[in-house]
Structure 1
Amino acid sequence: MVNSTNPNFERQVAVLIDFENVGLSSIQWLFDKISDIGRITIKRAYADWSTARSTREQVLQLGIEPVHLFHMASSGKNSSDIKLVIDSIDLLYQSPIDTFVIVSSDSDFVPLVSKLRSGGKTVIGAGRKLTASRALVISCDRYFYLDESTTQRNNITDLQQTRSSELLIRSVRSAMDEEGRVVGSKLRQTLQRLDPSFDFRTLGHATFTRYLESSPDVKISRPKGPGDIVVELLEYTNSINIKDTSSGVSTTEVDGEIWANIDVAWSKRASRSRSGNSMPGPSAAIIAAKVLGVSKLSSSKYKTLQKLLDSSEILSKSWTREGNSIIKV
């Protein structure tokens, strides 16, 4: 067995491509993505190459070994998929490969991924976002969407932002200590374990810290000296602030801080929209509920966005409703 504690240890990576499922576009981008994981010693693409002659030159230029299998009309199974599985099992038992990259969106590979992981191997998946099986994505240690190589920040949808926000909150709750805190490195590991496809870069951020700084859901603290950042949920810290009223802090002071926190959180969220100053009403309600420490705005004493705006001089001066959107004045 290879000793990973050896300073000269280098992971051996095998990339196995279900060509007929994903093609070759963005494969070089994928190679670049996984280049820091280890040395790619095996690169194979499985297909009936007699019907894919136009791409054979590209395969060779990328240093990929084409594995050719004729389609059998009478077979109900894809022979290329079967060959990919057989080769993976051979490599599992007869080679020093410790990281497998399965390039496919097909859920049929879920049992293979489970087998490789149970054998102590790291499994990375890659495929097209629109067709990727969710079962396959969550069965891998990591999963890259090949479409993300061309995704621009302007194309990030409100749904993506909402899902990212929900994942971040779940991850902090899962990893935080008794004081509601978690260090950045542990939080990042938890995020990727809960969703192997998570990648802050696809949300337009150069670093994980910048991703956290852009979130209206968390508060970041930096140590005075060297060390990791510390992350807390805003809803957790705000609930503590509200409890402080019993120790002499006035309700007016607490309310003022809550309105200010909502204003800051809304401003961060609105700055990421195309207009730079607006957001959907449902997103504003979710953010406000988090700051108030409730599951949803309707569970608070304000019930609706309009009542929330009417109750706060700070918010009513800075924000207005227009249809189903909240706009910064």
Structure 2
Amino acid sequence: MAAGARIALLIDADNAPAAKIGAVLNDLATYGECNIRRAYGNWTKPGLKGWIEELHPAAIRPMQQFDLTTQKNASDMALAIDAVELLYAARPEAFAIVSSDSDFTPLVHYLREKGAAVYGYGRAMTPEPFQSACTKFTVLEQLDEDDDEDDGVDQPDAPSRRRGPVPTAELKGNSGLVRLLRSAIKAAAGEDGWATVQQVGHQIRNQSSLDWRNYGYGTLTKLLTATELFELKDEGTPQVAVRDPREGRH
């Protein structure tokens, strides 16, 4: 997505931690300008007090939705309706949905079918259908405001909830991740077997939705290095190259 793209941030306050909003806004700044910011919930509930304290400092507009029954709130439906309205009225290039609720999966499919990117943010326990539907999904437990920027790649099969990098043995044991990395390197490689990490990231981007930081690594290069399965070299340029040694030497 082009720099400076307009992003609509829609927050399911009932299913998202207020303490992470600063990190989310910081992350979205790498994609474009987040000039539509709304949080949905029943603001009469004591449980949303943490969010109330964050709304004004973060310039987020509170959208009030009273609970219609004792077991279900109306916030999810209101968020979905507003997203569709914004798609045609404000026409943002992308949406950011902060929630751990899989009920938003059909909405994400719809927005992407209409050409909008969708960046999801949720807890590690967020159901896989919602994570996979997003253009990119970031686990909030792994998101810090001072995270490094990356050359851009998403991953499958997010690890269990944790802080810090996933150890090498666990990375090697993640067959989905290893298979994806190997196939991407092979597809992007030249005749000599080498591909730039940027090319590998581009190859993977259309296959996976999760954020590399979900594994505790700030860049794809660091993740590739940590697996200890690939050769990497830096020839004094901004590009780092990678090769799968199983493909043989040329």
Deviations 1:256-287 (A, max 9, x none): xxxxxxxxxxxxxxxxxxxxxxxxxxxxxxxx
Report the equivalent of 1:188: 201
Structure whose alpha-carbon radius of gyration is higher: 1
Within the candidate set 12, 37, 41, 1:47 is matched to 41
- Measured in 2, the distance between the counterparts of 1:187 and 1:80 equals 39
Within the candidate set 64, 67, 77, 1:68 is matched to 64
- Measured in 2, the distance between the counterparts of 1:147 and 1:15 equals 19
Q: Which residue identity is paired with 2:55?
A: V
Please report how far the alpha carbon of residue 145 of structure 1 lies from its aligned counterpart in structure 2 after TM superposition. 0.6
Please report how far the alpha carbon of residue 166 of structure 1 lies from its aligned counterpart in structure 2 after TM superposition. 4.1
Within the candidate set 177, 195, 211, 2:223 is matched to 211
Please report how far the alpha carbon of residue 174 of structure 1 lies from its aligned counterpart in structure 2 after TM superposition. 4.3
After superposition, the Cα gap between the structure-2 partners of 1:125 and 1:154, relative to the gap in structure 1 and judged at 3 Å, is closer
Q: Which residue identity is paired with 1:184?
A: V
1:42 alignment partner, SS class: strand
Q: Which residue identity is paired with 2:243?
A: E
- On the 8 A contact 1:183/1:231 being kept in 2, the answer is yes
- Measured in 2, the distance between the counterparts of 1:87 and 1:50 equals 21
Report the RMSD for the aligned CA atoms in angstroms.
2.7
- Measured in 2, the distance between the counterparts of 1:32 and 1:157 equals 29
Report the equivalent of 1:315: none
Q: Which residue identity is paired with 2:62?
A: P
- Measured in 2, the distance between the counterparts of 1:158 and 1:220 equals 19
Q: Which residue identity is paired with 1:219?
A: E
Aligned length: 228
Identity %: 26
Which deviates further from its counterpart, 30-39 or 54-63?
A: 54-63
Report the equivalent of 2:152: none
2:143 alignment partner, SS class: helix
1:85 alignment partner, SS class: helix
Please report how far the alpha carbon of residue 118 of structure 1 lies from its aligned counterpart in structure 2 after TM superposition. 1.5
Structure 2 portions without partners, runs of 5+: 145-161
Which deviates further from its counterpart, 80-89 or 210-219?
A: 210-219
- Measured in 2, the distance between the counterparts of 1:89 and 1:30 equals 22
- Measured in 2, the distance between the counterparts of 1:159 and 1:149 equals 20
- Measured in 2, the distance between the counterparts of 1:160 and 1:59 equals 38
Within the candidate set 99, 113, 137, 2:108 is matched to 113
Which deviates further from its counterpart, 150-159 or 32-41?
A: 150-159
- Measured in 2, the distance between the counterparts of 1:86 and 1:204 equals 35
Please report how far the alpha carbon of residue 158 of structure 1 lies from its aligned counterpart in structure 2 after TM superposition. 4.8
- On the 8 A contact 2:141/2:163 being kept in 1, the answer is no
Deviations 1:16-60 (A, max 9, x none): 011111231212111111112111111111111111452312222
Aligned runs of 1:167-316 on 2, under 5 Å? 167-177=180-190, 180-199=193-212, 201-223=213-235, 226=237, 228-237=239-248
- On the 8 A contact 1:153/1:202 being kept in 2, the answer is no
- Measured in 2, the distance between the counterparts of 1:41 and 1:161 equals 41
2:69 alignment partner, SS class: coil
- Measured in 1, the distance between the counterparts of 2:218 and 2:138 equals 17
After superposition, the Cα gap between the structure-2 partners of 1:156 and 1:102, relative to the gap in structure 1 and judged at 3 Å, is farther
- Measured in 2, the distance between the counterparts of 1:156 and 1:149 equals 18
1:140 equivalenced with 2:134 (yes/no)? yes
1:101 equivalenced with 2:96 (yes/no)? yes
